[in-house]
Amino acid sequence: MVTLDGQPAQIVGVAPRWFWFLSKRADLWTPFPLSIFDDNVPRDRRLRYLGVVVRLKKDAAPALAEQALRDIALGNRYPWSGRALRLQSLAEATGGPSPYMGATGLALAFLLVVASSLIPAERFSVRSIAGLPFARHQRYWWLLIVKTGALLGALTLLWIELMHGPRTPVFGLVMSWVFLLACVGVAVFSIRDQRRRCPVCLHRLSLPVSIGTWANTFEPAKTELLCEQGHGTLVLPETEMSAAPQERWNALDDSWRELFSK
């Protein structure tokens, strides 16, 4: 028995130092009366939330505990209103997914369907680097798949961790939109990064050189990126005349590799 605020309290258990729950780590848990938030003002009906973790006896049914909470709430409700007690299991509070996860999953699936239809149509010019077929350049495509999947997987795990457990509706809505925007950002970054890689060695292209002129009678200005291993160059137009990609990959023969090796 210990004395808290002049009242005896029985110690029923001691939590180890590594014990952790939903809130921040606590070194000491103490009981306190439900009237701790009571201002003793009948007109005060502000909403207050107080979470308490309890452990039922072996022969105690959740329905009986729920009824006991109703009795306590009834005794504390009058003459002041706006109070309620409800029994909620830990599995219900932390085990189920947030309702926003389903809606966000459907929106993400819709974005994936749109992206999968745009890539074959060359709206996203990933394959426009020499029109790389999957059979001949599996390493190039597998890098894109693994890179995008790893980034989206890490982002999804972080989102699930943040959305897991009781959250406010505003928090769930904001996090869902942040997650969708982050997924779009990851996809754009992955595609742009892949377009600037050599299809042979998968290294980033470098040494940009501006070629051409802006005159109407000559070819438009372009930027040429070079593979430092001597596999080829990627020509990027400064302007695009249509929605189709205008990039062109120029492969170099083996004689150029000796020059780059020096």
User: Hey, which of 72-76, 146-150, 254-258 has the most confident mean pLDDT?
Assistant: 146-150
Residue 28 sits in the same domain as residue 50: yes
Mean pLDDT of 7-18: 70
Residue 44 lies in a domain: yes
Show which of 195, 223, 251 is a domain's final residue: 195
Domain count, the chain: 3
Show which of 95, 127, 151 is a domain's final residue: 95
For residue 127, the one-letter residue type is R
Reply yes or no on whether the pLDDT at 236 is more than 60.
Answer: yes
The pTM for the full model equals 0.50
Show which of 137, 161, 195 is a domain's final residue: 195
Q: Is the dihedral of CA 102, 113, 189, 151 positive or negative?
A: positive
Quickly state the pLDDT bin for 123 (edges 50, 70, 90). very low
> What is the domain range of residue 114?
97-195
Residue 200 lies in a domain: no
Share above pLDDT 70 across residues of the chain, in percent, rounded to a whole number: 50
Residue 128 lies in a domain: yes
Tens of pLDDT along 194-219?
Answer: 888 888 888 888 888 877 666 555 66
Q: Comparing C-alpha atoms, which of 169, 150, 152 is closest to residue 105?
A: 152
Q: Is the dihedral of CA 55, 60, 66, 69 positive or negative?
A: negative
Reported as half-sphere exposure (CB side, CA atoms, 13 A), residue 233 has a value of 15
